[in-house]
Structure 1
Amino acid sequence: MGKIIAIANQKGGVGKTTTSVNLAASLGVLEKKVLLIDADPQANATSGLGLDVDTIDVGTYQLLEHTNNAKDAILKTSSPNLDVIPSHIDLVAIEIELVDKDEREYMLKKALQDIKDDYDFILIDCAPSLGLLTLNALTASDSVIIPIQCEYFALEGLGKLLNTIKSVQKIHNQTLDIEGLLLTMYDSRLRLSNQVVEEVQKHFNDMVFQTIIQRNVRLSEAPSYGESIINYDASSKGATNYLSLAKELIIKNS
């Protein structure tokens, strides 16, 4: 039975897509069967895995519209054991198109029923908003990973996201769990980075992943080559961090 995990935070630039792509690739390298769903109209996870966004015919948009089934939308990637359901700029329109549909929050959940058992992990890269797209992802998921940037405004907006998760639990998905808070973009030389780590660990203790994702030049270069950090530079600090996160996730779910 596959586990569906949304990677969500309504703040942009906190490392959601970087985490989605590299955690998915790391789980694949550790011999788990993984599907990454790009649920962000910017389609950065799609291009970050080397796919040409302009050639996408079937993706998350068609899945939410129920014009195609999930199997039609799955593409193989060059990463071991990793498939992707790509995104496209068309996805921007989905919030308006679904607005008067019945059970509009459950479109993704229904679309994934057929394939859930084909994978060990299904990761959903969410858009940086709390709109209908993210709501669909949270309703379809078993749990959520929340990336938090080790910077000044780190905790701003986190309360809002946790409230959204609470209301999703209450109304749409009672079994939704918080898989963990993930500290990203950590720079050990900065006092601020260390303060954020301390504060998050103090407030949320066991909810925080032990793995911390450090700032890493190779990590920010990899997407421009259409590769995960594992393919781009397996010996880099970024690759080591994401492999460590993948191992932590596997242990937590075994």
Structure 2
Amino acid sequence: MTRTLAVANQKGGVAKTTTVASLGAALAAAGRRVLLVDLDPQGSLTFSLGHDPDALESSVHEVLLGDVAASDVLLETVDGPSLLPATIDLAGAEAMLLMRAGREFALRRALGTIAADFDVVLIDCPPSLGVLTLNGLTAADEVLVPLQCETLAHRGVGQLLRTVADVQAITNPGLTLLGVLPTLYDARTTHSRDVLADVSGRYGVDLLAPPIPRTVRFAEASASGSSVLHGRKNKGGEAYRQLAANLLAHWDGGADLVLVDAG
């Protein structure tokens, strides 16, 4: 059975794209057939995995509007996963979808034609709570929320959780909140630990382990057109390998998710 995981947070700069690229690479390295879906009009995932959005003739934009089959748009990446890319044209898809009936189901319909070819689908949602993010949540089985371990990081989390609840009630009753993934974590500071405790206590959400550390390797990897798992060993790549192992044990064997002890 294909697992579809939406990675969402309407706040930018929380490592959504890094998480999709790195977790996707880790799952592919574990032998899974992985599809990455770029739903962000900025095309950051597409660019960071070695493809120039400005040079693409078609993307998820045309797929959502029903003009092109998803299978005809797929690209390969250095780390193994297939990619359904995005271009700036996707910004216009939101307005066009608003005029269509069943607009929240466009991505689910599109993925239905290719999902059986993959074990895991990871969706990189844009930093907003618009129609594109609703499409990602409606198409997903689970949602993962990256959250940076910094002051005021939780601003907007409550709104996102309300949106998830609305999607569960209206377009996707089967959607579950997998948990919050702490990112940009600095284990040397009490500040990072205080943020985790605050988020856990305020919203009652699970914090997935391990926290993803702050490291310059993420920026270097994006510039090189690959994920942080490609190349020399580093703490960021190891953290995403551990996260992948955590998820696979949960998905395959029903094991409890390994969680962060927020104290």
Return the alpha-carbon distance in structure 2 between the equivalents of residues 103 and 219 of structure 1. Answer: 37
Q: 1:236 aligns with which of 234, 237, 243?
A: 234
CA distance in 2, matches of 1:246, 1:206: 19
SS at match of 1:122: strand
> 1:17 matched to which residue of 2?
17
* 8 Å contact kept, 2:32–2:119: yes
CA deviation string 1:215-243 (max 9, x = no partner): 0111221101111011133x100110010
Q: Is the 2:180–2:205 contact (alpha carbons within 8 Å) kept by the matching residues of 1? A: no
Q: 1 CA distance for matches of 2:221 and 2:79?
A: 13
Q: Is residue 253 of structure 1 aligned with residue 244 of structure 2?
A: no
**In the alignment, what sits opposite 1:153?**
152
Percent identity between matched residues is: 40
Q: Which residue of 2 aligns with 1:5?
A: 5
Partner SS for 2:220:
helix
Aligned partner letter, 1:3: R
Q: TM-score, normalised by structure 2?
A: 0.93
Q: Take 1:2 and 1:73, find their aligned partners in 2: how far apart are those partners? A: 20
Question: 1:40-64, CA deviations, whole angstroms, 9 ceiling, x for partnerless residues?
Answer: 0010100111112122122110111
Taking the aligned partners of 1:205 and 1:238, their CA distance within structure 2 comes to 26
2:70 is matched with 70
Q: How many residues align?
A: 252
Q: CA deviation at 1:212?
A: 0.6
State the alpha-carbon separation in 2 of the partners of residues 142 and 134 from structure 1: 14
Distance 2:2 2:53 in 1: 27
In structure 2, give the amino acid aligned to 1:67: D
1:132 is aligned with what amino acid? V
Partners of 1:205 and 1:51 in 2: how far apart? 39
Match of 2:190 in 1: 191
Unaligned segments of structure 2, at least 5 residues: 253-263
Tell me the equivalent position of 2:27. 27
**Letter aligned with residue 208 of structure 2:** F
CA drift of 1:204 comes to 5.6
1:245 counterpart letter in structure 2: L
Q: Which one has the bigger helix percentage?
A: 1
Once the two structures are superposed, residues 176-232 of structure 1 have per-residue CA deviations (whole angstroms, 9 ceiling, x without a partner) of 011121000001222211101222344566722121100011122110111101113
Residues in 1 aligned to 2:188 and 2:224: alpha-carbon distance in whole angstroms: 28
2: CA distance, partners of 1:130 / 1:117:
28
Q: 1:181 to 1:41 in 2, by over 3 A?
A: same
Match of 1:217 in 2: 216
Alignment-mate amino acid for residue 197 of structure 1: L
Q: Distance in 2 between matches of 1:204 and 1:160?
A: 11
Does structure 1 residue 133 correspond to structure 2 residue 152?
A: no
Counterparts in 2 of 1:55-94, with a 5 A limit?
55-80=55-80, 82-94=81-93
TM-score of the superposed pair, with normalisation by structure 1:
0.96
Match of 1:49 in 2: 49
**3-state DSSP of counterpart to 1:229:** coil
Distance 1:237 1:189 in 2: 14
**SS in structure 2 at match of 1:247:** helix
Cα distance in 1 between the residues matched to 2:226 and 2:187:
26
Aligned with 1:37: secondary structure?
A: strand
Over aligned residue pairs, what C-alpha RMSD do you find?
1.2
Return the letter of the residue paired with 1:27. L
- Report SS of the residue matched to 2:138: helix
